Amino acid sequence: MKLLLYSWQANNEQILADNLINLGFEMVWFKKVCKHYTRDMELAAEMIPFIHKEGIEGVISFNYFPIISMICDTCKIPYYAWVYDCPHFTLYAKHVMLSCNHIGIFDKEMVRKLQGKGVKTVYHVPLSVDTEYFAKAIDTKADKEKYHCDISFVGSFYTDEHNYYDRLFRNKMTGIDKAIQKQSFSYEKDYLREAVASGEVDLCLIQKKMEEQGLMLGDDYFANPEELLFATVLEKKVTVEERRILLTEVAEKFGEKYRFCLYTGSDLKNLPQLQQYHKGVVDYHTQMPLIFAGSRINLNLSLRSIHSGIPLRVLDIMACGGFVLSNWQPEIAEYFVENKEIVTFQSLEECKEKMDYYLKYEQKRQKIAEAGQKMVREKFNYTSGLLKLFEIEGD
C-alpha cells in the first residue's frame, strides 16, 4: 500500500515512517502547514492532485485533521489518524463521521464518548514507542553525565495564553477555586462535575466569557459546550495547580538534599521557588532521552483531560529505561503491574512518600525501570500499534 504521511512537524513522524516501511508500506511525505482544520482549501487544492499524481492509496497522520478527511473522501481513499492529544477537539468536527476515517485514540474514555454520539470511525489504539531509537539516542551522546539527576520533571505549567482559567478569571472565583482545590490529587471522584451539578460552579458564566473571547468551537463542530469547558478551562486548571503544588513541595522537601531538575518552556516568574531548578526547554529527540535515562525518578503528572489513557510521556520514559512515578490512570493500572513495572500515586502525600522510598532503595527502583522498559518493548512497540491502527490481526 502506498501511503502519504501528512507531516505537521510532530514528534516521531520519522519513527512512524520507518516503522511503516518495515511493515511493507511505501511511504510518500507531504509537508504543508494546515491553516484551518476544517476549511483549508489551499491545502486541499495541493493535496488532491498530489494524491492522484503519486497514486496514493491512503493517508496517515499523527492527530486528526478534518480537512484531510474531506480530501480522502473526495479521493475515495482511507485516512488513518493516530491521536495522541487529549483533549483533541478536531474529533468533534462533523467530518469525523466520514466513512474514509480510521481514527485510533489512546484514551478509552474519549473513544467511549465519541461512540456514544454515534461516531463509528474511532477505536482504541494505545500509543507506541521505539525503544531502539531511544537506545541509539542515549548511546551516541557523550554528555550523558550532564543530565544525571535524582528527580526530574519535563512538562508545561501552561502559564501562556492557553491557561484559559487565569485568562478568563483574573480575580478569584471562590466556588470554582474550591472545586479545583478539591479535585487536585483526587482520582476516584469527579468533584468538578459534582460542583457543576450542585450549582457551585456556573458553566454558563464560563461559556459566556469564552464566547466573548472567541474561544468556543464553530458551526463545523458538534461538541457539547460543557465538554469543551471542562477540558480547556477546569481540568487544565487542575493540572496547572497539581504541577505547581507538587513541584514546589519537591523543591522544598528534596531540593537541598537531592539534585532536582525541572525542564519546561513555561514562564516561571510567578514561581520563584522553582526558578533555581529550571533547566530550560529540551529537544525531544536528542536531550529528552538522556534526561529520562539519567533521572533516578521521572515524575509524570498527566493532563486531567486524559481521563483513562496512558500518556506518551510515560511510555517515553519507560522506553529510555527510566523509572516512572506517575499519577494513577485507569489504563496504567490495566496494562502495567504496580510496583513491578511502574509506581503510581493517588495523593500528594503518597507521591512524596514514594519519592523518599525509591531514592533510598536503588536496586528496587532499577528493577522496576528495567521491567517497565521490557514491557513497552514487547507490548507498546510500533508494530503492535500500527497493526491495531490498520485493524490488522497480529500473530
* Residue-wise pLDDT tens digits, 277-334: 999 999 999 999 999 999 999 999 999 999 999 999 999 999 999 999 999 999 999 9
* Cell matching residue 161: 495564553
Where helices occur in the chain by DSSP H, the ranges are 13-22, 41-54, 66-75, 108-116, 131-139, 164-168, 174-183, 191-198, 203-212, 225-229, 235-254, 272-275, 288-294, 312-319, 330-335, 348-360, 362-379, 382-389
Name residue, grid cell 536528542. Answer: 286
**Amino acid occupying residue 22:** N
CB atoms within 10 A of CB 274: 22
Question: So what's the pLDDT on residue 395?
Answer: 47
In three-state secondary structure terms, 105 is strand
In the predicted structure, residue 173 carries a pLDDT above the cut 80: no
Question: So what's the pLDDT on residue 161?
Answer: 63
* Residue-wise pLDDT tens digits, 50-104: 999 999 999 999 999 999 999 999 999 999 999 999 989 999 999 999 999 999 9
* Residue-wise pLDDT tens digits, 56-70: 999 999 999 999 999
* Residue-wise pLDDT tens digits, 243-277: 999 999 999 999 999 999 999 999 999 899 999 99
The interaxial angle of helices 362-379 and 131-139, nearest 10 deg, is 130
Question: So what's the pLDDT on residue 172?
Answer: 62
